[in-house]
Structure 1
Amino acid sequence: MNSTEAILKERIKELTCLHEVNSIIVNSDYDQLHLSLEAIAYCLKKAWQFNTYAEVEIKSASYYVKTKGFNPSMVTIKSDIKVFNNADGHILVGYPTNKYAKSDFLEEEVALLNNVSLVVSNLMERKQIKDSEEKVKRQIERTDRLHILGEITAGIAHELNTPLANILGFTELLKERFSDREAARDLQKIVDNTIFSREIVKKLMFFACEMPQEMDVIQLNPIVDNVLELLRPSFKAKNLRLSKSFGVQKVHLKADTVQLTQVLFNLIMNAVYYSPIEGEINVHIEEEGKNVQIHISDEGPGIDSEIGEKIFEPFFTTKTIGEGSGLGLSVVHGIISSHKGSISHRQNHPKGTVFTVNFPKL
């Protein structure tokens, strides 16, 4: 390619490509980024000297697109995609090895590829920033919502405690005055239901962090072992396998033993409930910086992304009617928050859910 006209045509193609790539990026939908990358790949293909044979591959940690004829055996030039100075992928432009060699790529084409990689890298950075901002926003909204719910439930709990105590006290007095067995049986039903209602109130107070705590320095591993021993019959009933691993033999926390036991019992019992017969439950403890992490995973159906933000709210449950009050995870969240800890969940692979509890270690 020696003529001035041919050189000029190539420069026009390269400048046109850069303009089109910038236009694609400006109009990108961050939720449909693979479509933008695909458009960039075909735009690059047109800019090469032998564009009939040129093929393009764009690969990152989250995306992979290529033009129709691309294959790994081609002779290629490469430019890295870097996101916040970390390698995240690459862009390759290639020719068939039976027709072209490395020397057939122009210096200007190498420069063009580097420029396109730079703008694609900037696009990926903006995508990460947007995702991080949305995640923080969701966390703040969820925290605010749970805080408001905590204040409301604390008020409800305090208001209900007195009338429930009166119902229970006067019913017990009536039982002493009735000799009729049928009447006594009916009164006992009132007592039982009042006690059940009082337990719900107690759980609401746990969620609202209104329950008094007895904080002591405790060892975590023996408490986990005790809970697993308590749940042994539940494991046996569904023929579940237990995989237990304590990365640290002696983990000390400042916690309320009863409340910590309730957290572990609820989370592991949930894993048992949602696990399929002959499934596996994994309980893993490890140190992560200044925290102690407890991971509890199952092989159940998992948590739908649409309800992932709701599972810690009071009275929200996916269990069938009569099998759950919807207070278990809200109580767990309240207890963990009162211990200056945090709880999160993610998908288990290939199926199921992993709950991770973080407690500050001593």
Structure 2
Amino acid sequence: MTTTEDILKERVKELTCLYEVTSIIANSDYNQLQTSLEAIVYCLKRAWQFDKVAEAHIKVGEYEVKSDDYKSDMVALSSNIKVFNKIEGEVIVAYPSKIYSVKDFLNEEQILLNNVALDIGNLIERKHIRDSEAHTKRQMERADRLHILGEITAGIAHELNTPLANILGFAELLTEKITDKDATRDLEKIMDSAIFSREIVKKLMFFACEMPQEMKMVKLIPVVTNVLKLLEPSLRTKKLKLKKFIDNERMELRADTVQLTQVLFNLIMNAIYYSPEGSTVDVTILDTVHTISIQIADQGKGIDTDVADKVFEPFFTTKPIGEGSGLGLSVVHGIITSHKGKITHKPNTPKGTIFTVDFPKL
């Protein structure tokens, strides 16, 4: 490039590229950043001195785009992309190495590349901030709903306890006086329904944090063993195999024994419920540096992505009507949170779901 006209043409190409990149970023849809990065790649190609052979490549975080003929062995200029002052990727413009060398790049092209890398980094930062704000907003909305729901359910639970106790008590008295078999069977159905309703009330009270905790150091493995013994008939009925791995037999954590039992019972019972006959339920307990981690995996259908965020919400259930109250996992979530732990779920491989509970070591 020898003439003033050639130099001006290159400056115009570079400024046009910078303007186009700025416009692309300003109008980016945060849910379709891949498309924006692809557009930037082709802007960069047009801005270089030998634009007919120039190729470009952008890699940042989970995103990677490149022009059609880009090869990793090409001679290239690059600039790091920083997100919150941490290098998260790079942007590259390259020429075929058989014909060109590093000397064929212009100093102004490196400056342009640095500016584009800075703009891409700012775009990714804004996406992270927006995602974080959206997540925080969802958490706050959920916390508000749970608080209101907790107050309502606490009132309902208290109001229902007395009539349910009366129904159960009088039904038991009647069974002692009535000798007719049909009437006795009907009374047993009344008592079974009252007991089922009382269990729902108990779950409501757990959910509303009305049940006092008795926190103490608990040996975890005996609790797990007792729960598994209780569930042996359910495992046998569906011909399920139980695969158990325990990292340390002497593990202890500070917990309420009754609530810890309820957590394990609910999670393993759910795994059994959703497991197809003849499959395997895995119970894994790991003693890590900072936590005791309990993993319960099934080989069922798994959790659909559109309801993945709802599984811990009260009264949400995928079970048929009459088979679930939708309180099990919300109660489990509340108990674990009160123990300063956390519960997550992820897909199992090749199918099913893994629930992971992490209790902190105190």
TM over 0.5: yes
| Between 18-27 and 71-80, the greater mean CA deviation after superposition | 71-80
Cα distance in 2 for partners of 1:229, 1:195 equals: 22
CA RMSD, 1 decimal: 2.3
Distance across 1 between alignment mates of 2:76 and 2:118: 18
Identity of aligned residues (%): 63
- Structure 1, unpaired ranges of 5+: none
User: Partner residue of 2:313?
Assistant: 313
Tell me how far apart the structure 2 counterparts of residues 299 and 108 of structure 1 sit (CA, whole Å). Answer: 58
Q: CA deviation at 1:267?
A: 1.1
Q: Is the 8 A contact 1:346 1:353 kept in 2?
A: yes
Using a 3 Å threshold, how does the CA distance of structure 1 residues 238 and 80 change in structure 2: closer, same or farther? farther
Matched with 1:93 is 93
Deviating beyond 6 angstroms after TM superposition, the runs of 4 or more aligned structure 1 residues are none
Q: Match of 1:44?
A: 44
Q: Which amino acid aligns with 1:131?
A: D
Q: 2:345 touches 2:356 (CA, 8 Å); kept in 1? A: yes
- Aligned residue for 2:15, secondary structure, equals helix
* 1:195 alignment counterpart: 195
Report the Cα distance in structure 2 between the residues aligned to 1:299 and 1:268, rounded to whole angstroms: 12
Paired letter, 2:284: V
**Matches for 1:122-271 after TM superposition, within 5 Å:** 122-232=122-232, 234-235=234-235, 237-240=238-241, 242=243, 244-246=245-247, 250-271=250-271
SS of alignment partner, residue 153 of structure 2 = helix
**Aligned pair 1:77/2:77, yes or no?**
yes
Could you tell me how far apart the structure 1 residues matched to 2:89 and 2:234 are? 47
Distance verdict in 2 for CA 1:66–1:241, change over 3 Å: farther
- CA displacement 1:82-118 (0-9 Å, x = unmatched): 2122221111111122332222111211121111111
Q: Report if aligned partners of 1:245, 1:283 keep a CA contact under 8 Å in 2.
A: yes
User: Which piece of structure 1 moves more, 208-217 or 342-351?
Assistant: 342-351
* CA deviation map 1:25-59 (0-9, x unaligned): 11111111111111111111100001111111111
Quick one: distance in 1 between partners of 2:63 and 2:119? Answer: 16
| Structure 2: stretches of 5+ with no match in the other structure | none
Matches of 1:218 and 1:74, distance apart in 2: 62
Range with bigger deviation, 307-316 or 270-279: 270-279
- Give the match for residue 300 of structure 1: 300
**Which stretch of the first structure deviates more once superposed, 348-357 or 177-186?**
348-357
Contact 1:281/1:299, CA 8 A, preserved across alignment: no
| Aligned counterparts of 2:3 and 2:117: Cα–Cα separation in 1 | 29
Task: Give the deviation of 1:158 after TM superposition.
Answer: 0.7
Residues 43 and 347 (structure 1), Cα distance of their counterparts in 2 relative to 1, 3 Å cut: same
The CA distance in 2 between the partners of 1:212 and 1:85, in whole Å, is: 47
Give the AA of the match of 2:19: H
- Measured in 1, the distance between the counterparts of 2:281 and 2:195 equals 35
Paired residue for 2:115? 115
The match for 1:14 is 14
Aligned to 1:287: 288
